[in-house]
Each structure stands twice: as C-alpha cells, then as structure tokens.
Amino acid sequence: MPVKNRFAELLPEITEWRRDIHRHPEILFDTHRTSALVKEKLEAFGCDEVVEGIGRTGVVAVIKGKTNTSGKTIGLRADMDALPIMEQTGLDYASETPGAMHACGHDGHTAMLLGAAKYLAETRNFDGTCVVIFQPAEEGGAGGREMCDAGMMDRWKIDEVYGMHNWPGVPAGTFAIRPGAFFAATDQFEITVEGKGGHAAKPHETVDSTVVASHLVLALQTIASRNVDPTQQVVVSVTSFETSSTAFNVIPQRVTLRGTIRTLDEGVRKQAEERLKHIAATTPEVFGAKADVHWIEGYPVMANTDTETTFAADVARSVAGDCADAPLVMGGEDFAYMLQERPGAYILVGNGDTAPVHHPEYNFNDEAIPAGCSWYAGIVESRMPAA
C-alpha cells in the first residue's frame, strides 16, 4: 500500500484547507473557527456521526466500514491549536491573527486527518468503525485529557488509538517511531526565594535573595548530575530569574525562579520532584532566607504500546518503503493521556528541511500530506481489512 493515488488527486484541496487553517490560527481551547470548519467538512464527507464540544471544543466523527464483523473501533487523532508566536514567514497565507501562528504544524495534522476522513468516507473499504478525533489545546492545555475525561473512549468504544506529528529535518513523507517511552513528562516549578532587601552599599544588612537564588539554580542541576541514575534521562531547566527590583542600587527582597523538569520514567519523575522540593526548601536556609515551592504537574510520559507500534511501523513501511527508529524526545505530548486509556502508537512524519517547530519561521510542508493521509487511512484499512 504505497501513497494512495486518491491523495495525490486530493492534494490541492487538502493544501487549501491547510493554508486556510494556517491563516486563521487559534490558541488552546479557543479553536472555534477551526472546529466549525472541521465539523462542516466531516458532515459534507458523509460521516455517520459528527459531534462537537467534546473536551470543550473538540470534534469527533464516526465512519462505518462496509461491514463490521470485526466489531473493532480504531481512533485516529489530530491536534488543532496554534501557538502564541508572531509569525515571520512572509507567506502569502501567513497568520492574520497578531501574536498567534501555527508554529508546530497542527494545521497540517488537521488537514491530513480531514483528507483521510474524506477518503475513508468515500471508500469505506474496511471491516469495523473508524473514529476521527480533532483535539484542541495540545500546546499546554491538556485538551487530550479533557476529551478523555469527557468519556470519549468509552462513548465510541474505541479499542486502539493512533496519532502523528510532523518532524522537521528529515525528508518529507518519511516516517520514524519507537516503542515504549517516546515523549517526556513535562512538569513545571516556581520557586520564590524570600530574603531581606536593602541598599546595595550595605549587603551585610541584607539577606541577598539574588545570591541565594543563584546558588539554588546551580544546586538544582545536581538532580541530574548527582541524584538520578546517569543511564536515565532527566532535564532540569531554570528558564526565568525574576527579581522584585530592577534598580541598580537595590538588593531585592525576593527572587522568583521558574522552569521545567522533563523525564521519561515515572519513578525518575517522582524522584526529581522530591529532590527539587527538598533542595529548594533547604538551600535558602543556609543563607538565612526561605523559599516557597509551587510544583505544577504537566503531561505524563507518552509511551507507545509494543504491538501497536510494530503495526504502525509496518503501515509506514508500506507507504514510504521504510520506517526509521525515532529518537527519544524530551518535549511533551498530551496524546499521552489517550495512550494511558487505550493501546496505540504515535509516529513522526518527515517535514523536510524546514525551520524547527515552535520557531517563527516554521511552516508545515505540504509535500508530506499524501504520505500522512495514506498512513492514517492505512491504519484503518490494514487493522480492519474488508471482509
């Protein structure tokens, strides 16, 4: 099953959908225009059921095969939301919404799944049921969790679920995947160090929160270098250092640190949380300061199940001729919540030599559309072959 001829025929139409979505990016759960467009297309395709408002602004549609002797239901998921980034591509279809752009390719994911849905609704050459899932708020809003909490998996009796993400830097339309832990858990922290402010000329009369926080930044790195088994992956990043004063001659009363911890194992994740809280609480005491720690639990580890990963890779090989071993990714992905509820797999599709995701010059590569659509459709037709 190579790239399907039907998707070559549909490429101009799917590209037009993609660029329209790109022109009108929407952030988190505010995907009202995108969700309405998706719903309109799915209804026009003749899907058997189209439901909006799942997980606030998510859209779910059902496509029944010619037969259903298998009794199986496969879910296919795409994310719809954009990022709060000012676009710098200069494209004639660039974002018309100031401060928002599709800098991660969710416009392409949505368009590819719409293309697959159109084809599957036309042909219905499978034995079972396909559920297409269009999710809001992947970029930090946990829209996948909200759709699961809304009962999506049980309501449509989904047995397995599959997702895809584009990957810049590798040839367009090629694939890569790995079993087990794939994308990292992404937790956040905020630490407020409280010292004793004063005049910069009299540091001996203060408890210098800037010095204390600087020691804390360095001490937190020992979580990776001296606490966690070096064969395990953990990234500790302090990404913001904010003092309560910006004056040249003031030692600030307080400093707020913010950052993330990324892990690929739940045991390491818990260990890192415990060590951060202990280091943050005790290090300031050495200097006569104190600290308040706020831990913000993020997305869990996204782990592909073994059998479904092997199957997804086989489908990718049938489309592209090969499927590479994907690297571990320390970024987060809220498809993790769907994989916690059902077996399934998440795959990467090459985006070509483009700017990286989350970059103001990034753009989804339309050349990847036929391969992505073919993989989505191939999952359904291969997992539930027509009787």
Burial of 248 (0-12, 13-18, 19+ CB in 10 A): exposed
Given a cut of 90, whether residue 260 has pLDDT beyond it is: yes
Please, which pLDDT band fits residue 2 given cuts at 50, 70 and 90?
low
**What is the structure's pLDDT at 67?**
98
Task: Give tens-digit pLDDT for 316-364.
Answer: 999 999 999 999 999 999 999 999 999 999 999 999 999 999 999 999 9
The CATH architecture annotation of domain 185-299 reads 2-Layer Sandwich (3.30)
| Residue 289, token pair as written in the block | 């300061």
45-72 pLDDT tens trace: 999 999 999 999 999 999 999 999 999 9
Residue entry with tokens 């998706």: 38
The torsion angle over the Cα atoms of residues 192, 223, 337 and 293, rounded to 10 degrees, is -20
pLDDT value, residue 224: 97
Say which CATH architecture domain 5-180+302-383 belongs to. Answer: 3-Layer(aba) Sandwich (3.40)
- CA 270/CA 292 separation, integer angstroms: 19
State mean pLDDT over 367-374: 98
Give the tens place of pLDDT for each residue, 126-152: 999 999 999 999 999 999 999 999 999
Q: Are 71 and 160 in contact (CB under 8 A)?
A: no
pTM: 0.96
* Res. 311 pLDDT band, cuts 50 70 90: very high
Distance (Å, rounded) from C-alpha 263 to C-alpha 304?
16
Section 16-28 average pLDDT: 98
Q: Which helix (H) or strand (E) holds 129?
A: strand 129-135
Portion of the chain with pLDDT greater than 70, in percent: 99
Mean pLDDT across the chain:
97
Kindly state the percentage of the chain with pLDDT values over 90: 98
Q: Could you state, in order of their start, the residue ranges of all structural domains in the chain?
A: 5-180+302-383, 185-299
**Confidence check: pLDDT of 1 > 90:** no
The mean pLDDT value for 79-92 works out to 98
Six-digit token pair at 367?
Answer: 């050349």
